[in-house]
């Protein structure tokens, strides 16, 4: 079973909400649509479900084009951000409700309800009504009602957005475990990058109705395809520093000038040698990849500590070089004080280079 989107587009009058996107989701694969609010994630999900009709392009489920099919004929299971549980029905009745429409026997309905309640640990609340449930329990019931059927695919719209931090952590693991056993293509919409990084087999990062990158969580984090993905993925955000390539030393070692009359010589991608001296670039480096030294050297910038934020085992340090703000994460035991002047080092091969068109300089 698969989901395929081919040049899928949705317009609302003059507004293009989804702009000619393509991706596929394989059998048993979980793909997360990740992006800021208003980027077209939910509209894409609704077009797969048939709740919105595509202006252009195709939705293909199990190899069959379904653009003209009504939602009930597409056999998809969708779980919404708002649980949409029937308040007058018990948990068991909410779980069984989709099965009655399929005219299943009572024994089969009871068997499936029991199986789902065991999987999602709902056995002790089957007789309660939604008003008697905690938020995490409501979420599990909503997920259970989606997966109790045998649909072609599963669609989740911000499934954990209404839960507190602890419940989100618990539910991420529970839903991931359940989905691994179901062997169906699954699309999850989220604006929470941690959800996407932990739950997805692949992530599709969206902006303004377009897909910027589709890749594994590791590659989206380690090899962002452009400046938007680089800045959107990661907490704290990647440091992005405008610079000019001033000299090439060979073997990927290059000299860069940054605003404020500072320069540094660092080892980067060897493909930097394809750029001309004087090329405008953006240097990107993760806060956890930067290092602090008390002694100046050629492989970084002279900076001043602006603010120190303890984060338990780590410390987030805000740095200024006179023109730019940098973020660095280090061990909590490193002695630091606001106002200190330190040297911020860029270790070898830890810095991404983005060209003037905002695309990552790629290794051959």
What backbone torsions phi and psi does residue 331 show, to the nearest 5 degrees? -65, 140
15, β-bridge pairs: 12
Q: Is residue 199 domain-shared with residue 265, that is, in the same domain?
A: no
Q: Which of 28, 293, 39 is nearest to 178 (CA)?
A: 28
358 prior amide bond cis, ω within 30? no
What does the pLDDT read at residue 72?
87
d(CA 98, CA 307): 54
Q: Is 254 helix (H, G, I), strand (E, B) or coil?
A: strand
Q: Is residue 86 domain-shared with residue 48, that is, in the same domain?
A: yes
CATH number at residue 196: 3.40.50.300
Q: Which of 329, 66, 354, 32 is nearest to 225 (CA)?
A: 354
Q: Which of 41, 47, 49, 54 is nearest to 208 (CA)?
A: 41
d(CA 10, CA 59): 12
- Higher pLDDT pick, 256 / 101: 256
Assigned domain for 257 exists: yes
pLDDT at 363 over 60: no
64, β-bridge pairs: 61
Query: Are the beta carbons of 217 and 196 closer than 8 angstroms?
Result: yes
How wide is the angle at C-alpha 150 spanned by C-alphas 202 and 86, nearest 5°? 100
d(CA 116, CA 141): 9
Q: Is residue 112 domain-shared with residue 208, that is, in the same domain?
A: yes
Q: Give the range of the structural domain holding residue 323, as residue numbers without chain letter.
A: 239-354
Q: Is residue 215 domain-shared with residue 90, that is, in the same domain?
A: yes
pLDDT at 325 over 60: yes
Alpha-carbon separation of residue 216 from 6, 35, 205, 219, 338 (angstroms): 20, 15, 11, 5, 38
Query: How many domains, the chain?
Result: 2
Assigned domain for 364 exists: no
| Residue range 73-77: mean pLDDT, rounded | 91
d(CA 225, CA 127): 50
- As to burial, measured by CB atoms within 10 angstroms (0-12 exposed, 13-18 middle, 19+ buried), residue 41 is buried
Picking from 187, 204, 232, the residue at the C-terminal end of a domain is 232
Cβ neighbours of residue 38 closer than 8 Å, sequence gap 6 or more: none
pLDDT at 145 over 90: no
CATH number at residue 324: 2.40.50.140
Query: Are the beta carbons of 193 and 235 closer than 8 angstroms?
Result: yes
Q: Is residue 297 domain-shared with residue 159, that is, in the same domain?
A: no
pLDDT at 233 over 70: yes
Q: Is residue 122 domain-shared with residue 249, that is, in the same domain?
A: no
| Residue range 346-354: mean pLDDT, rounded | 96
Q: Which of 202, 35, 182, 56 is nearest to 120 (CA)?
A: 182
pLDDT at 85 over 50: yes
Encode pLDDT of 276-319 as tens digits: 999 999 999 999 999 999 999 999 999 999 999 999 999 999 99
Picking from 213, 232, 251, the residue at the C-terminal end of a domain is 232
pLDDT at 331 over 60: yes
Encode pLDDT of 27-69 as tens digits: 999 999 999 999 999 999 999 999 999 999 999 999 999 999 9
Q: Specify the length of the chain in residues.
A: 364
How wide is the angle at C-alpha 359 spanned by C-alphas 36 and 271, nearest 5°? 145
Residue with tokens 């089969």: 108
Q: How many CB atoms lie within 10 A of CB 33?
A: 27
Q: Is residue 281 domain-shared with residue 140, that is, in the same domain?
A: no
Task: Give the mean pLDDT of the chain.
Answer: 91
Q: Within the chain, how many helices (H) and strands (E) appear?
A: 9, 20
- What letters, b where the CB count within 10 A reaches 16 and e where it falls short, cover 314-338? ebbbbbebeebebbbbbeeeeeeee
Alpha-carbon separation of residue 320 from 15, 306, 323, 324 (angstroms): 40, 6, 7, 6
Encode pLDDT of 155-208 as tens digits: 998 877 767 777 777 778 777 877 777 789 999 999 889 889 999 999 999 999
Picking from 232, 253, 282, the residue at the C-terminal end of a domain is 232
Residue with tokens 């109705």: 209
């Amino acid at each position: 079973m698969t989901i395929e989107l081919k040049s899928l587009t949705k317009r609302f009058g003059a507004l293009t909400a989804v702009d000619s996107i393509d991706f596929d989701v394989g059998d048993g694969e979980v793909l997360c649509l990740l992006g800021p609010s208003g980027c077209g994630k939910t509209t894409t999900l609704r077009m797969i479900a048939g709740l919105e009709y595509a202006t252009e392009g195709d939705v293909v489920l199990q190899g069959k084009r379904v653009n003209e099919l009504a939602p009930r004929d597409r056999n998809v299971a969708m779980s919404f951000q708002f649980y949409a549980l029937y308040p007058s029905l018990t948990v068991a009745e909410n779980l069984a409700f989709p099965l009655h429409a399929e005219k299943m026997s009572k024994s089969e309905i009871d068997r499936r309800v029991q199986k789902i309640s065991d999987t999602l640990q709902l056995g002790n609340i089957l007789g309660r009504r939604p008003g008697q449930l905690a938020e995490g329990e409501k979420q599990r019931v909503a997920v259970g009602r989606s997966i109790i059927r045998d649909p072609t695919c599963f669609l989740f719209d911000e499934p954990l957005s209404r839960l507190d931090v602890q419940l989100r952590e618990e539910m991420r693991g529970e839903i991931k475990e359940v989905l691994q056993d179901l062997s169906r293509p699954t699309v999850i919409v989220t604006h929470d990058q941690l959800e996407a990084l932990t739950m997805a087999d692949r992530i599709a990062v969206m902006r303004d109705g377009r897909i910027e990158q589709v890749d594994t969580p590791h590659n989206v984090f380690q090899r962002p395809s452009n400046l938007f993905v680089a800045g959107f993925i990661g907490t704290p955000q990647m440091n992005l520093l405008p610079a000019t390539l001033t000299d090439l030393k060979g073997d990927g070692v290059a000299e860069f000038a940054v605003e404020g009359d500072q320069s540094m010589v660092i080892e980067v991608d060897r493909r930097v040698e394809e750029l001309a001296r004087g090329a405008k670039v953006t240097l990107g480096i993760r806060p956890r990849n930067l290092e602090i030294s008390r002694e100046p050297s050629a492989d970084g910038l002279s900076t001043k500590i602006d603010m120190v934020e303890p984060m338990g085992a780590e410390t987030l340090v805000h740095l200024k070089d006179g023109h730019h703000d940098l973020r660095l994460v280090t061990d909590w035991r490193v002695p630091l004080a606001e106002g200190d002047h330190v040297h911020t080092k860029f270790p070898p091969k830890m810095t991404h280079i983005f060209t003037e068109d905002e695309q990552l300089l790629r290794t051959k």
